[in-house]
A = this chain, B = another copy of it.
Amino acid sequence: MTTPREIKVYRDLMGANAEWAAKTRALLAERSIAMVNVISAPGSGKTTLLERMIPALAGRLRFAVLEGDLETTRDAERLDALDIPVYQLLTGGSCHLEAKLVHHALLDLPLDDLEVVIVENVGNLVCPAEFDIGEAGKLAILSVTEGEDKPVKYPLLFHEAVAAVITKIDLLPYVPFKLEECRRYLAQTNPAAPVFEVSSLTGAGMDAWLTWFTAFVAAHR
């Protein structure tokens, strides 16, 4: 009698991912840490937003950042200047972060000294939204240079997100971006999620965004 061979299918991959995500949720609950999974297209300004947010909240929240990328340590090097724990997670060609890799990185962080872990996922509007990494919430970032239709063209992320941040609003005078239409698409895809408009360059809109973020962290630790 032959031993049945294990057939690895996508469902199993997702099942294993869900188990690691559950372990991560338990670990973060025990340590009273809120983890936020930041997702956007490449170049939407995720790293620049963190460069603005984290110093603005210094002394009020203790941060660590996990930087997801296919290649290079560029983003981690940028954030290293902030003097907080920053680890680079390289996916080696994969288009998203998986829960297991994030879990092992968390175990290496000084968890006793942290209140918030920000995971900056791989720049991709599709695949990262499909993989739960054990976060308290996914944050969807969209820049005004990308066009107002992205929430309906890439609905899964915007549907799952706890909030959406529209970045680079300092460029609004120079781009054909219909802000009201974008807000309507966002509301249609996810009526519950608040939407913030910010410029990491000028600081516009940053106060309202940081107030919401701070309250979200307090509610999910």
Contact = CB atoms under 8 A, between A and B. Distances in A.
Interface size class of A (residues with CB under 8 A): 35 or more
Main DSSP-derived SS at the A contact region:
loop
Interface of A: 2, 5, 7-9, 41-44, 69-72, 74, 93, 95, 122-127, 143, 145-147, 149-150, 152-156, 168, 170-171, 174-176, 201
A149 B123 CA distance: 12
A70 B154 contact: yes
Contacts of A150: 42-43
A72 B171 contact: no
Contacts of A72: 149, 152-153
- Can you list the 9 inter-chain pairs with the closest CB atoms, starting with the nearest? A43-B146, A145-B145, A95-B126, A41-B42, A41-B41, A43-B147, A42-B125, A95-B127, A72-B153
A149 to B, nearest CB: 6
